[in-house]
């Protein structure tokens, strides 16, 4: 039972982007060029286009041309593109074009203008059609043909990829194809990240569907340029403030020639560009520039231990002692659902603790009983587990005075007699005197209350053990986070 989606990502502490010039935010404008690559029977498609136009709620017309739809797309190529080209070149802004290969082939003047302006032309696939029902072999062939055609049209192989109307296989297939500085078919983060498939590390630069003019053509979208500008401004302000606070991010703005290229909308984009340019420490870049920076500043790291991908025997051997002498908890955890979110100290602790809490009271009592007395006979005989030995030593319980040892012996005896299990406390959280004080206090509990308290301490001990096993940054942050909680 393995859940492949990564719901953890960078967690609470994303990496420092270190954008050029110590920029607080990297801003990236994407111009989607799809006109001439959309669904059309002239292109060999089964039906007309129905996506992202002024005809909200349009449906495909099987076997027929849709004159209105075609002319709306034609507007993007004939008028919208040039309006946007003038705006961006006058503002001297770098742009990334997501170019559908067949659309680029049908627009030689526009391609020449893109290249002359120094814009990056990334691949937007072979055709602007749905890929969700394509089999892997068909989509693999479409990717290869898109690269071939793109290279012939522009004179250069694309270094970036975004299908958009993708399938569940798209990112893996493009990764397999290789040769791409980045893929953008995800919306999962505000920063680039590395994705592993087939032993290859592929850089992902997430895209956006919210800071995107496509919402002019969707229900519950933007009705006016003012709404678009307001949303972009609020997004920019939030991210800029995070960058000023020490956590720079990336903001992508998605644009379409036939949508934002309309006169009633383009002025909102112009106002937003002016707003961005009025701020200091903003890096406006092409996506390939961001990719190159990230690959240099945050190169892929060797794959570390991933509990969710370990064989069962290795998993149980590695984590079977997290709960004292209770490997059955690790066994049940392995048999349950694990995902990338469980490949951290916090995540794996949650999965192990879930099984501990789900166990019967008798089973949980067995875990409590498996714990050794503090400074007891097992410690003196050096028969503790390595973890218990280290933990007790961390609080100085291996160097007691005769008086302290006698006090621990007395407390241990009275505690076990009253509750039926040894006194358990996460000694790393306490000094020797603090442990003795907790001992005295908890002796006053009734059995039910102390059983709950002891179980909580077992969970805490398990967490501290896990935190020590993970890389320093992850473990240290996890300990701090749990301590604060």
- DSSP string for residues in 28-83: EEEEEE-TTSBS-GGGT-SB---SSSSSTT----BTS--HHHHHHHHHIIIIIHHH
Q: What are phi and psi of 198, to 5 degrees?
A: 60, 30
Q: What are phi and psi of 47, to 5 degrees?
A: -155, 175
**DSSP 3-state of 26:** strand
Q: Give Rg (Cα) of the chain.
A: 30
Is 8 catalytic? The answer is no
300 CA to centre of own chain: 15
Rounded to whole angstroms, how far apart are CA atoms 154 and 159?
12
Q: How many C-beta atoms lie closer than 10 Å to residue 349's C-beta?
A: 22
Backbone CA torsion sign across 79, 39, 146, 4: positive
Count Cα atoms within 13 angstroms, Cβ side, for 463. Answer: 25
Rounded to whole angstroms, how far apart are CA atoms 471 and 300?
16
Helix axes 447-469, 386-394, angle to 10 degrees: 100
- Quote the Cα angle for 209-212-216, to 5°: 110
Q: Which of 85, 124, 371, 477 is catalytic?
A: 371
Closest CA to 66 of 80, 50, 43, 44: 50
Rounded to whole angstroms, how far apart are CA atoms 93 and 106?
25
Question: Which residues are tagged catalytic?
Answer: 371
């Amino acid at each position: 039972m393995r859940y492949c989606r990564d719901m953890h990502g960078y967690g609470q502490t994303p990496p420092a982007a270190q954008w050029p010039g110590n920029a607080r935010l990297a801003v990236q404008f994407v111009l989607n060029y799809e006109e001439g690559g959309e669904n059309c029977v002239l292109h060999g498609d089964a039906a007309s286009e129905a996506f992202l136009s002024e005809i909200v709620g349009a449906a495909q017309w099987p076997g027929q041309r849709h004159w209105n739809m075609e002319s709306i797309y034609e507007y993007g190529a004939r008028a919208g593109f040039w309006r946007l080209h003038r705006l961006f070149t006058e503002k001297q802004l770098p742009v990334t074009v997501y170019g559908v290969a067949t659309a680029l082939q049908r627009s030689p003047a526009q391609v020449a203008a893109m290249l002359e302006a120094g814009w990056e032309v990334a691949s937007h696939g072979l055709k602007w059609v749905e890929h969700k029902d394509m089999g892997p072999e068909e989509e693999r062939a479409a990717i290869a043909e898109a690269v071939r055609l793109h290279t012939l049209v522009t004179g250069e192989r694309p270094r970036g990829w975004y299908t958009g109307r993708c399938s569940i296989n798209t990112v893996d297939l493009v990764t397999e194809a290789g040769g791409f500085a980045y893929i953008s078919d995800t919306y999962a983060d505000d920063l680039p990240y590395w994705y592993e498939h087939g032993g290859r590390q592929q850089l992902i630069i997430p895209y956006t569907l919210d800071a995107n003019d496509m919402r002019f053509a969707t229900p519950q979208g933007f009705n006016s340029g003012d709404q678009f500008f307001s949303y972009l401004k609020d997004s920019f302000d939030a991210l800029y403030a995070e960058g000023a606070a020490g956590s720079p991010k990336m903001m992508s703005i998605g644009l379409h020639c036939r949508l934002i290229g309309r006169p009633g909308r383009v002025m909102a984009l112009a106002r937003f560009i002016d707003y961005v340019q009025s701020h200091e420490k903003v890096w406006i870049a092409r996506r390939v520039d961001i990719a190159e920076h990230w690959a240099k500043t945050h190169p892929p790291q060797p794959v570390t231990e991933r509990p969710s991908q370990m064989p069962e025997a290795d998993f149980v051997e590695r984590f079977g002692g997290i709960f004292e002498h209770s490997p059955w908890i690790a066994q049940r955890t392995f048999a349950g659902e694990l995902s990338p979110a469980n490949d951290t100290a916090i995540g794996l602790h949650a999965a192990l603790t879930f099984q501990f809490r789900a166990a019967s009271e008798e089973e949980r009592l067995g875990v409590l009983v498996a714990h050794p007395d503090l400074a007891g006979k097992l410690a003196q005989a050096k028969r503790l587990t390595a973890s218990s030995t280290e933990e007790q030593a961390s609080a100085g319980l291996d160097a007691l005075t005769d008086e302290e040892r006698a006090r621990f012996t007395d407390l241990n005896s009275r505690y076990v007699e009253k509750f039926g299990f040894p006194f358990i406390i996460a000694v790393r959280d306490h000094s020797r005197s603090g442990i003795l004080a907790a001992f005295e206090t908890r002796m006053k509990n009734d059995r039910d209350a102390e059983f709950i308290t002891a179980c909580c301490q077992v969970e805490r001990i398990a967490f501290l053990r896990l935190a020590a096993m993970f890389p320093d940054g992850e473990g240290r942050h996890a300990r701090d986070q749990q301590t604060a909680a």
